[in-house]
Chains A and B, each alone.
Chain A
Amino acid sequence: MIYETLIEGGKHWSLTLRAGMRLRIVDRDGGANVGMLFYNPQNPLERYNAPDTLKCQHTFKLTKGHCLYSDMGRIFCSIVEDTAGWHDTVCGNADRQRVAGRWGAKSYQEHRNEWTQNGHDAFLVEGGKYGLSRRDLAANVNWFSKVSVADDGSMQFDGNHGRPGRYVDLRFEMNSLVLLHTCPHPLNPAAHYPRRPVLLQLSRADPVADDDLCRNSRPENVRGFLNTELYQRCGGAQE
């Protein structure tokens, strides 16, 4: 392992990861939510695209075997392990008003590190560190949160989905700027502001084998990997 850290619940962070790195996200206590967005650090106009990710793989949920696509037909990262089985990418974030309405606003002046931060502001702050603004935000991933859909289209948040120790492993296929927060999922019905920590563990990924699960899970992903490899071969990975 290269590095391990713990991010408390209700916080935000960002980091740049090179192609070939592996990020394990662990829901240490159960019930965590990790909002995440991805950008190409060389050209942040290229960003995570949830609709392309879903339609390229004919899926609504994210789990092992899926790839997270940019709007340029390339793959930021592959989900190479997942013990949670379902992650949301269509519900966005809670904003300040939603957090205040649901759980009450706790100011920094009064509550210091126990203030009630929200995912929308978290992304604005982390993105701002790289010159990104509200214009650059997009539908994010919500790791460890399950929202299913009934036949009539109605959405249900599964409040029983989280288990202590569940994890998801991301293998990065291209250099990626990763914005993340541990603020509550916007549909979490908990009575009190949920504040769940996650462990982040960085390591070197094994090389992508010919029979790699993510690459071969769908013919679309074979082509997504080819697009990504072409970009690297032509110098797209250089800084």
Chain B
Amino acid sequence: MTKVRHSNFEPAAALLRHVIPAGDYWIDTVKAGGTLRIVDVEGNQAADTLIFNAGDVWDRYSAVDTIREQGNVYLSHGSKLRSTAGNVLAEIVADTVGRHDTLGGACASESNTVRYALEKRTMHACRDSYLLALAEHDHLGLSKRDLGHNINFFMNVPVTSEGGLTFADGLSGPGQYVEMRAAMDIIVLISNCPQLNNPCNAYNPTPLEVLIWEADVS
């Protein structure tokens, strides 16, 4: 069932290498034709990812348009990541895991109260990282309104034929990665998930690494 595809890019040739500590965020622009790799450094770490059209930031990644147009609820190599306006923002061009989630959304302090306990309301969550990122980059003109439903790279959320949703052990592991090639200039915002209440991070949030290659360096 997996659709594994490895990459030929050399880390030494990357334009950028950056480690995102657990519970932190990263936001940057990837130019059209450039490639972004996200590495699950220690394994089983969810990378909650949002993408914006850099030329029209209110046009953003859309989970529903992406899965409907590809006819499949899981993301893997070959998946075209579409926007709310139907544009292709990026395509997954390499993937050593084979399946990523885009149904489960990001954790928030408020949804944590529902899922785990009301007293979890003060625990760190991906949406807090997103909101801080947008506040610290307010020149982008983005706010809570622009937080759509994200991708959870390295998370495994199988749907059953009876209509159930399950949270399974991750298929990912140390050093696994996924790559997307930008189809236009895009802004990528990643929350390195701080969740301590479920197995999406194996109860142990760990670093992610991002690498960017410019177009035509392979």
Contacts from A to B (Cβ < 8 Å): 45, 49-52, 54-56, 58-61, 69, 71-74, 86, 90-92, 95, 97, 133-139, 148-155, 186-187, 220-221, 223-224, 226-227
Q: What are 12 pairs between A and B in contact, CB < 8 Å? A: A50-B64, A54-B104, A56-B115, A59-B165, A69-B114, A74-B110, A90-B68, A137-B84, A149-B73, A149-B160, A153-B73, A155-B72
Contact A92 B114 (CB under 8 A): no
Contact A153 B163 (CB under 8 A): no
**Contact among B64, B161, B163 for A139, CB-based, below 8 A:** B64
**Neighbouring B residues of A72 by C-beta, 8 Å:** 110
Contacts from B to A (Cβ < 8 Å): 1, 58-59, 62-65, 67-68, 71-74, 84-86, 99, 103-106, 108, 110-115, 117-118, 127, 144-146, 148-149, 157, 159-161, 163-167
Interface of B is mostly: loop
A61-B161 Cα distance, complex, nearest whole Å: 10
A56-B113 Cα distance, complex, nearest whole Å: 10
A50-B103 Cα distance, complex, nearest whole Å: 8
User: 19 other contacts beyond A59-B164, A60-B164, with CB at 8 A cut-off?
Assistant: A49-B105, A56-B111, A58-B165, A58-B166, A58-B167, A59-B163, A59-B165, A61-B163, A69-B114, A71-B108, A73-B113, A74-B110, A92-B68, A95-B86, A139-B63, A150-B161, A151-B1, A155-B72, A186-B68
Contact B67 A90 (CB under 8 A): yes
A139-B149 Cα distance, complex, nearest whole Å: 8
**Contact among B1, B85, B144, B164 for A152, CB-based, below 8 A:** B1
Contact B163 A92 (CB under 8 A): no
Known interface pairs A134-B58, A139-B63, A155-B71; A51-B105 also in contact (CB < 8 Å):
yes
Contact A135 B114 (CB under 8 A): no
Chain B, Cβ-Cβ closest to A55: B104
Known interface pairs A51-B149, A71-B108; A224-B114 also in contact (CB < 8 Å):
yes
**Neighbouring B residues of A74 by C-beta, 8 Å:** 110
Contact A223 B114 (CB under 8 A): yes
Contact A154 B71 (CB under 8 A): yes
A66-B67 Cα distance, complex, nearest whole Å: 23
Known interface pairs A51-B103, A58-B164, A86-B163; A152-B108 also in contact (CB < 8 Å):
no
